[in-house]
Structure 1
């Protein structure tokens, strides 16, 4: 039932989304990130690290907006309460809808980053495609867990959009997506260990360069992802219990 619920939710979400939303998340945003890098540092700076960083930037943007907007759309349509009461449950429906949207954004982002890098004269080369693909899938799983954790905030607060806007840029920095974490002050480097995208970025770069991936990076990615997933499940249960008790589930 869970697998069927995930697939059905993903199909419904992809059919209901406008093409403009997919283009903005998967094409425009990563292209802008790459263009800004070109303008700031020149074409020579567009290497694999920049491509991976811009790809993760696009993924993080998709996490924030797709997970949050799915909830807001269901709330505004007046069907959120129905989703909560269905046998599949809100978590399964939410993951299916958000994952369907995120996978499309991730594919478009990868294509956009690759095309822009090639046009700049520095095509992205992946030395270990199989390892890179496995790492990318692990990154997508981690991103899903992080997005699910953010859903508690979107359900609980009416200012969720403002909160999302505030969250975007700190993760850009702490995750080392474009600026290496070694350049951050000590306290910021400590905080960055809690951001799974930092470890995902290191693993992706190692796979792209054909280097041996560090077991510690995999352990850190697994630990942060597990922490996100557990916190998300507990958080959603607590938030749903609270808003059910207060009768505020359908209040936008």
Structure 2
């Protein structure tokens, strides 16, 4: 499938891609290929959803994205309920001069899922924001791997990935910022955080910086820890149950990422789909 946005066209409504997998497709290999091209000075919002098949399948998807000068793409990927599937999602993204990418991932995991993003800032003043939430339970697994290539000067990248891991689930984040020798004035930020909600969960992180320019501002980091029992005690003293207190803290931890979605209507929709929202 190919989606082409013409030069100067600004879409006023998002495109929704709904991937429906029949329960009759048992033990199948399902491949998809999507190519997206945004012409100069164009904008597009894209929401990628799928159903929750009961059968076991291997889902293999590729998405190639080319964002021309002064164009903006906002892409939102919602992956939940695929408990019996193995899934690999690869994204190749190229940005031109003064173009912008906003990319969001939400996943509840599956038997095994991997989301890989290779994003190249090829001309000056491009910017990429990649945010993700992994909210895993049972034996589900999900891995996010990102590579941000700063190939020209005055480009910015921002990455924030948060994980809430329950039961026996496993989360992985591997992120790399590459800065070419000519990519002076680069601004790159990368952070992954994990909330471990049982003793059996596992989180692995591998943040990387590879820098060949000398006038840059780059940072990376990764943290993991348990839920604050003192905070739970405080909330229970205010009348909430243990489960309510725990869920409130989890939502507060994950909500920071969702709040960074720049389109209010899509932010509201994703809060409704995920159930992660404030209590006001």
TM-score bracket, shorter-length normalisation: under 0.3
Which one has a bigger Cα radius of gyration?
A: 2
Q: Which has the bigger relative contact order, CA under 8 A and spacing at least 6?
A: 1
TM-score (norm 2): 0.24
